[in-house]
Chain A
Amino acid sequence: MRVRCTPAMLWTALGISLLAGAVSKTLEFTNPGAPLTRFGSGFYGPLYIVANAIAFYYCRKICSDHRDPSTMHLAWLLMAASCATAIVRHTFEWTIYQMGWPDNPQMFSLVSLRQIPTVLAMVFMTAGLVAMWSSFAAVGLGMRFRWRDAILPLIIVALTAADLAYRQNMWDAQSEYQLMGYLQMLSPVTLALPALLGLVLQRISQEMRGGQFADFLRYLVWSLLLRLASLLTTFSPALRGVRVIAIAGTAAFWAAPWLFALAVMLRWRITESLSVMAELYERDPEEEFAKLVAPPANAKKTIQGR
């Protein structure tokens, strides 16, 4: 039996991740070292892998709907690559976790190798978003900015700069592989760049003035901002010490990949709707145009078809 993924399923998964993240962090505060706490902390691995696998599947499908070669084809290909490398990273990290990290200090250097797929995933994501922006810009979208559009990017840059000040506290900074330490120090920057590009996509969604496409872009932007916000709370000792912020940050960190998967799935559903509509226009174009101003019974059929 083939199971069809629906937005409701992904919303549920997002809710579960949010809750699991919050519970896991709460347990860390109340029962540090307890087996349940340990189980909870490791639970995010499988959730991340599944969310990225779903996103990868839809990215590939959307990619195949774009002409090859084209900038948008490249954009989706890069985003699929980002999801694939994220899967590699979390599979590696989760395996190491099951082998006893972080209780076993000998594994600190081994686990630090996760920085390679981590940075690669963010580089792919950034490049994909640049390619996406470039496609929209070619038709004149995302080229006009207002002064107030600069406020949020400035806040992001300031917070990222502040986070860089705490780079010595990062987990992998103590790795015997110096390169891994440097790569992790870069992580606030590699997360801030996609978030900044997300704000450009937000501007594009505003220029679109409504429509399902703008909704997809908004989901994409929120997932990128959520990822950055959760990282900022994780890195900064000042924020990490405040329980409510730490719990909210962890919950956001667990939920972010699901929001991205949801955005990508919504984008694919638009393609599916467009294909159904194209078939209807192929079958009886005159009837379909009549339905734009037709009696309700007929119009209902068309809208349900979409």
Chain B
Amino acid sequence: MGHDISEPEWLEYVSGALPPAKAQRIESHVATCPECAHLLDELANWHDLLTTEGAGLRRALQLPDARMEEFVDRAVERVCAAAHPKFGAGRGRTAAEGLFLMRSLLEPIFGSGTARIAMDLAASRCTIHPEGKLLGGEWPLFVRNLSETLASICGSAAGRLVNRAGTCLVAQGA
């Protein structure tokens, strides 16, 4: 990701949480930059998929076990069908991909609002690149901050999960 737009800004833009002035800046840039237009397209697809499947999963929680399993099967199948190969296992990930996966992990448990606030808070305590990117070398600190933030409101089990999941996401620079 790049071109003066940080990862948090992309993610907030896609989820509609970015202030209008910043959103307009992204829209003007996307209109003239095919690379960013493609990236936005991908992010928007991901966001739509996760939102739809997340809402469906929440509804499915009211279902009996057999229906729940069937529903989960179908939901994951649909997400997989649209998944971008670079999010697969077996390779190092960038900080941006790490952030995205971390968010996917946290949102069903803590909610998208909590995940965003906690990740923003954790990132604000790290050294940020002048372009607003979270540097790969800062990843361990980011994970520690995020773990502490979530542990303070959700308990040490939440902190442990973030720590363990986060340390496996080897960021290789944004």
Contact = CB atoms under 8 A, between A and B. Distances in A.
Interface of A: 62, 65-67, 70-72, 135-136, 138-141, 207-214, 270-275, 277-278, 281-282, 285-290, 292-296, 299-300, 303-304
Interface string B78-97: 01100100011110000000
Given A139-B149, A274-B155, A294-B80, 7 more contacts: A136-B153, A210-B112, A212-B110, A213-B109, A214-B111, A281-B165, A285-B168
B39 interface: no
Contacts of B169: 289
Contacts of A214: 111
A285 B166 CA distance: 9
A72 B153 contact: yes
A289 B155 CA distance: 22
Contacts of A300: 69, 72-73, 76
B94 to A, nearest CB: 14
B111 A213 contact: yes
A133 to B, nearest CB: 11
A141 B167 CA distance: 26
Contacts of B14: none
A290 B86 CA distance: 11
Per DSSP, are chain B's interface residues mostly helix, strand or loop, or mixed? helix
28 contacts: A72-B155, A135-B152, A139-B152, A139-B153, A140-B121, A141-B114, A207-B117, A208-B110, A208-B114, A210-B112, A210-B113, A211-B107, A213-B111, A271-B154, A274-B161, A278-B160, A278-B161, A278-B163, A281-B161, A281-B164, A286-B89, A286-B90, A286-B168, A289-B101, A293-B79, A299-B72, A300-B69, A303-B72
Contacts of A272: 157
A61 B61 CA distance: 25
